[in-house]
Amino acid sequence: MRRRAPRRSSELRRRVRWGAVLGSALAAFVVASVSLAGMSSLASGGPQTIITKRIFPGPRAVAAQDVRDASNGSESNKSDAFSYADAVVTPTSTAIASGTNLYLDFTLNSGRPGGLSVSSPVFNFRLASGGGAQAGNACFWFQVRSGGSVIGTHGSYASAAGCSAGTAQTTISTAIAEVTSTDQVNGLVVRVYPWETGTKTKVVNVDLATVSGSTPYSAFTAYETQWVDDTSGTPATAPWFAAAVDGTTYTGASAWTGAATTTRYLKLTFDPGVPAGSVVTAVSLKNVWHASAAVTNGGTLCYYLETFNGATSLATHGSAAAPQACTASGTIFSTDTIPLAEVNDATKANNLVIKLYYWVSPTCGGGGNPTCVRSVTDQAEVTFNYYLD
């Protein structure tokens, strides 16, 4: 019995201490409440609902991927080799066998509004064996890269993403579900590891490398703006000439004549993928160019342009009598930014075709006249400003 007394005392002290703590807390709460209390009154406003546009206004620049050259009066296809399944193929620089880890990089354009979700994205790749004795099939696997990181891998040397049947070009469309937004599509890099299965290694001919899919508002196709061929083990970079001012140029097929005519032109076609219903606020063409050589005897290389909604003429900018621009330089690029106010809705934007009519003024060829020269183009890009309510 004597041993229990200290325990009881200790327990009692503990209870007293807890009581003191709780009491103090209660007292503090009461004091604080009293201190903060006071009369108040409320007035309310709203609720106010604020909804943002589906696509914010902004510029989206798209290079001409389809280019036709009619400088000699007959149209020829000078389009980007990887943008269309058109039998315009590009062989790898080197014959390539399985397991080499040598690759082709395709960097895609950035013409779509950012921040949009993407559904059903696919990588479209069309290839075939270069053929020849003991040739086999062309096969590939690939990685999808965004922001410098690999976000998806499709196939392997052991399990190809797809193969051609010999030299017959075959398109393989592979779902790339890891691409979920236009932020990723813009500037996406697809690294393709191709190989040829023949007993004697061959090159691989590539016809198409695009990514297609849909946003909630429209379908799109992303075209390459640059490709890198590393099949030799030494990467070689080849930008698409129209995409940027980078010194990679396109020189016209033939010299222009001494008179403007609608049968001689450089034709540019664009695929901006502007969603239906968008409000197109401004469109402009950026043409960066010069003559292939200095124009002699006081002559100049000039052009004016005509815009089309498909095949329907929309407007002309300049004329044979009043050129849009001229230059005599064979080295210094002229940069012309030409507003195209007539392109004022999504339909016209998506069907936009521009013909540039070049000629040497006042004439060319012959004794004492300026030399007839070609045009050299470094960039041909249209910027579409639009939004979607």
Partner 1 sequence: MATPFQGRGPALRMPTRTSMRLFTSGSTLPKLIASLAVLGAAAAIAGLGTYATFTSSTSASHTIATGTLSLTSGPTNRLGTGASLVAAGDSMQRAIDLNYAGSISFGSATLTTSASPSSALDTDATDGLHVAIDKCSVAWTESGPPYTYTCGGSTSSVLASSPVIGSNVALSNLTLTAGSTDHLRVTVTLPSTAGNSLQNLSSTIAYTFTGVQRAGTNQ
Cα separation values, 174 from 9, 153, 178, 211, 221, Å: 80, 11, 12, 9, 14
**Closest approach of partner 1 to the CB of residue 216, in Å:** 8
Q: Can you read off the two tokens belonging to residue 250?
A: 């396109």
Q: Can you read off the two tokens belonging to residue 248?
A: 């990679």
Identity of the residue, 357 or 384, whose beta carbon is nearer to partner 1 in the bound complex: 384
Cα separation values, 233 from 131, 201, 206, 220, 368, Å: 22, 15, 18, 33, 52
CA distance 174 to 171: 10
**Closest approach of partner 1 to the CB of residue 54, in Å:** 4
**Closest approach of partner 1 to the CB of residue 160, in Å:** 36
**Closest approach of partner 1 to the CB of residue 388, in Å:** 9
DSSP for 138-179 reads EEEEEEEEETTEEEEEE--SSS-SEE-BTTB-EEEEEE-TT-
Identity of the residue, 54 or 286, whose beta carbon is nearer to partner 1 in the bound complex: 54
Q: How far is CA 121 from the centre of its chain?
A: 14
**Closest approach of partner 1 to the CB of residue 146, in Å:** 16
Identity of the residue, 272 or 323, whose beta carbon is nearer to partner 1 in the bound complex: 272
Amino acid at the residue 71: S
Identity of the residue, 156 or 281, whose beta carbon is nearer to partner 1 in the bound complex: 281
Q: Where along the sequence are the contacts to partner 1 (CB under 8 A)?
A: 38-57, 113-116, 183, 387, 389
